[in-house]
Amino acid sequence: TIPLLQAARKRNSLNLLELTEAELEEQFVRGDGPGGQATNKTNNCVVLKHVPSGIVVKCHQTRSVEQNRKIAREILQEKVDLFYKGEESDVYKEKKASEKKKQEKKRRAKQNLEKKKLLKEMQQLDKK
């Protein structure tokens, strides 16, 4: 099973709960990670908290504060949707479907590899 809040960040979800600005607390902090002086001197990392649920999102994906604000709101909206709807959330269903697809792809690749090994063994036996 997927931890619910880790399933967030799928873009195709349409049926998400709406967030109001009154429910949000927003802070701008210095980002972390690579980037040197550009990262160390600018407050372009956005920390967004949904007060009713206590969910916090930190976004420092771009150098632009406005883009980080937008991305943080999208991520937070999906996490809040997962928090309240649980397994009924579209985000959760999409994540489950993509995980199932990935497992099927792995299974097929494994089958193909086994077939190739068998074919090689048969060819070697024919040569002898």
Model pLDDT for residues 19-76, shown as the tens digit of each residue? 888 889 999 998 877 777 767 778 889 999 999 999 999 999 888 899 999 999 989 9
Domain limits at 105?
A: 89-127
Whether 12 is covered by a domain: the verdict is no
Which residue type, as a one-letter code, is found at position 42? T
- Whether residue 69 sits in one domain with residue 106: no
- pLDDT of 11: 52
Confidence of residue 12 (pLDDT cuts 50, 70, 90): low
Q: What is the average pLDDT value for the chain, to the nearest integer? A: 84
Whether 3 is covered by a domain: the verdict is no
Look up the pTM and report it. 0.64
Rounded to 5 degrees, what angle do the CA atoms 39, 43, 44 make? 80
Using a pLDDT cut of 90, give the percent of the chain over it.
40
- Whether residue 82 sits in one domain with residue 94: no
Q: CA 69, CA 27: separation in Å to the nearest integer?
A: 10
Q: CA 47, CA 19: separation in Å to the nearest integer?
A: 16
Q: CA 82, CA 2: separation in Å to the nearest integer?
A: 11
